[in-house]
């Protein structure tokens, strides 16, 4: 059960505190600024989990760049369903563009594998994946991030965009959710 009065009561441990998130995103931004200089990159965020990371990350980019968003998901509660729900496509024509997908977390890899294949058919000049978190232990399909801020153990985490039933996205840190929150999950 969720504590309706205080979200932090539902957090077992803080895995990545706010300062560490900011530090690492700052470094990643400096790296991408160098690598994409003169290329007018297009950042594609995967809604909704990318939002805090998308904002923080693109604010660290010191060159002109553009934004777009896509909505797709394979998750239901705390388990990956493997089924893709495609809700919103990007607005830009990406042929010949340098595209960077921004994602909150890579778990099974199924979402990004699917999205990558879909976008590659549109012939971008380059397509890279940048993730805030990587859970390599959850991988069921072959997929690697080109840019990854943090590698984390195989726990269910929330905060900084990551949700459980669309809640906890607004926590400013990444934390492990107490199993008691979803133990009584009615399937």
List the catalytic residues. 107
- Scanning 23-31, 59-67, 92-100, 102-110 for contacts with ligand IMP by CB under 6 A, the matching segment is 102-110
| Residue 49 engages Mg ion in binding (rule: CB under 5 A) | yes
Tell whether residue 111 is a contact of ligand IMP (CB under 6 A).
yes
Which ranges constitute the DSSP H helices of 36-125?
Answer: 51-58, 110-120
- Other beta carbons within 10 angstroms of residue 67's beta carbon come to 15
Interface residue with ligand IMP among 109, 124, 159, 175 (CB under 6 A) is 109
Phi, psi of 107 (to 5 degrees): -115, -90
Could you say whether residue 105 binds ligand IMP (CB under 6 A)?
yes
Question: With binding defined as CB under 6 A, does residue 173 bind ligand IMP?
Answer: no
Contacts of 83 (CB under 8 A, 6+ apart): 74
Look at residue 147 and give the partner it binds from ligand IMP, Mg ion, none, a contact being a CB closer than 5 to 8 Å depending on partner kind.
Answer: none
Binding-residue total with ligand IMP (CB under 6 A)? 18
Angle at alpha carbon of residue 80, lines to 76 and 82, rounded to 5°: 110
Q: Per CB under 6 A, does 100 bind ligand IMP?
A: no
Pairing of strands 147-151, 157-158: unpaired
Residue placing its CB nearer to ligand IMP in the complex, 63 or 84: 84
Please select the residue that binds ligand IMP; options are 43, 108, 173, 181, rule is CB under 6 A: 108
Give the range of 7-15, 20-28, 72-80, 87-95 binding ligand IMP by CB under 6 A: 72-80
CB 11 within 8 A of CB 175: yes
Task: Give the count of alpha carbons within 13 A of 29, CB side only.
Answer: 19
Report if residue 157 touches ligand IMP, rule: CB under 6 A: yes
> In angstroms, rounded to a whole number, what is the distance separating the alpha carbons of residues 163 and 73?
12
Q: How far is CA 122 from CA 34, 95, 125, in A?
A: 26, 6, 10
Q: Which of 44, 94, 100, 106 binds ligand IMP (CB under 6 A)?
A: 106
- Give 5 or 142: the residue with its C-beta nearer to ligand IMP: 142
Give the footprint of ligand IMP on this chain (CB under 6 A). Answer: 49, 74-75, 80, 103-111, 156-158, 162-163
């Amino acid at each position: 059960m969720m504590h309706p009065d205080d979200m932090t009561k539902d957090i077992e441990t803080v895995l990545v505190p706010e300062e560490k998130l900011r530090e690492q995103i700052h470094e990643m931004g400096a790296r991408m600024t160098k690598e994409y200089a003169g290329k007018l990159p297009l950042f594609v965020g995967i809604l909704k989990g990318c939002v805090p990371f998308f904002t923080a990350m693109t604010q660290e980019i010191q060159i002109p760049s553009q934004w777009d968003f896509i909505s797709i998901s394979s998750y239901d509660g705390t388990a990956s369903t493997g089924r893709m729900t495609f809700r919103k496509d990007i607005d830009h024509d990406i042929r010949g563009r340098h595209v960077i997908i921004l994602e909150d977390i890579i778990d099974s890899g199924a979402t990004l594998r699917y999205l990558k294949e879909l976008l590659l058919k549109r012939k971008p000049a380059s397509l890279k994946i940048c993730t805030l978190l990587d859970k390599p232990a959850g991988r069921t399909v072959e997929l690697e991030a080109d840019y990854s801020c943090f590698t984390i153990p195989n726990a269910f985490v929330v905060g900084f965009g990551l949700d459980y039933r669309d809640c906890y996205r607004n926590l400013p840190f990444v934390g492990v959710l107490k199993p008691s929150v979803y133990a009584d999950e009615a399937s």
